[in-house]
Amino acid sequence: MPAHRRQAARVTELMAQGTPFVQATVVRAQCPTSTRPGDSAIILADGSIEGFIGGQCAENSVRASAAVLLESGEALLLRILPEGEADFPESEGAKTVVNPCLSGGAIEVFLESKLPPPRVALVGTTPITDALELFAGHLGFAVHHSDSSVPDVDNCVAVLISSHGRHEGEAIRAALDADVRFIGLVASTTRGRAVLDELRLSDQQRSMVRTPVGIDIGARTAEEIALSILADLVRAVRKEGLRPASPSTRERPESAIDPVCGMTVMVVADTPHLVVDGIDHWFCNPGCRIRHAEELGVAL
């Protein structure tokens, strides 16, 4: 199977699994360079790269930017230039990095994050949860509303509770244990405070629970209340940077500075490595590793 078809199949597989990744495509290349427009790769949360977007030095620049995009969910045009090369024309939404170890040429790579839709767990069987399920789906959220008292809340961006007193404490505890940052309880101010008092939460835990949840728009009907709740959630996502505590964040590899060229490198299985006097040193390519060993008089 041709490489582009294998990668297309892999993209389909990852999206079906809900696995976050970044798709990188070379859109411009100036000789001399080992890559050409159309070359592409997939970068996973652990820093592994599937495909080809240039040599090891270019990979490090792409890997470092991809790690940021997996958290922000945005796209980026990455310009990778050798030291002393004239800049590519500037444009909005682009980032330029200077890579001193490039053998020459320059490349532009378009990076697009592919994240699963943010999950929202609903607790309760009420007209409000029915409206939340309908509206949240239209807004691009993946809604989990099971028949059980408390649905699976792992990797959720929000847990919304409208159950008229049923399983409220249990749902709040489960959401806090899963590190959910947006927990919304539909209740009056007085009853919401009573629920939190009964749970004996810390101040930090109480700050995670919004009750009454929703923006004050004078809502009266179930649909209007659902609208106010989702407006509150969208604001938290768009303006406050709300993100689920997902595996993509936890798996992000550590970064280090190449002591020879000063590049930021992501520490993954194939990152060139050298231990000197018990201290780890990481490099963008084997050439920097060899040069550093020679400078220190260390045998490889």
248 in a structural domain: no
pLDDT by position in tens, the chain (length 300): 677 788 889 989 998 888 899 999 999 887 767 788 999 999 998 888 999 988 777 888 898 899 889 888 889 999 888 776 555 556 667 888 877 766 667 889 999 999 888 899 999 989 999 999 999 999 999 998 876 677 888 889 999 999 888 889 899 999 999 999 999 999 999 999 999 999 998 989 998 999 999 999 999 999 999 999 999 999 999 888 887 765 444 466 788 888 887 778 878 877 888 888 888 888 877 778 888 887 887 777
Rounded to 10 degrees, the C-alpha dihedral 207/143/75/111 comes to: 120
* Residues 235, 259 within the same domain: no
Q: Which residue in this structure is represented by tokens 């244990």?
A: 177
10 in a structural domain: yes
What residues make up the domain containing 189? Answer: 119-243
* Residues 221, 154 within the same domain: yes
* Residues 236, 282 within the same domain: no
* Residues 21, 80 within the same domain: yes
- pLDDT for residue 261: 78
Instruction: Determine contact, residues 264/237, Cβ cutoff 8 Å.
Output: no
- Chain centroid to CA 238: how far? 14
Q: What pTM, to 2 d.p., does this model score?
A: 0.68
> What are 103's two structure tokens?
């053998």
* Residues 129, 214 within the same domain: yes
* Residues 209, 231 within the same domain: yes
Domains: count for the chain: 3
Helix and strand counts by DSSP (H, E) for the chain: 9, 15
> What are 120's two structure tokens?
């929202």
Count the neighbouring beta carbons within 10 Å of the beta carbon of residue 193.
13
* Residues 156, 226 within the same domain: yes
**Could you say which DSSP state residue 60 is in?**
H
- pLDDT for residue 248: 46
* Residues 106, 124 within the same domain: no
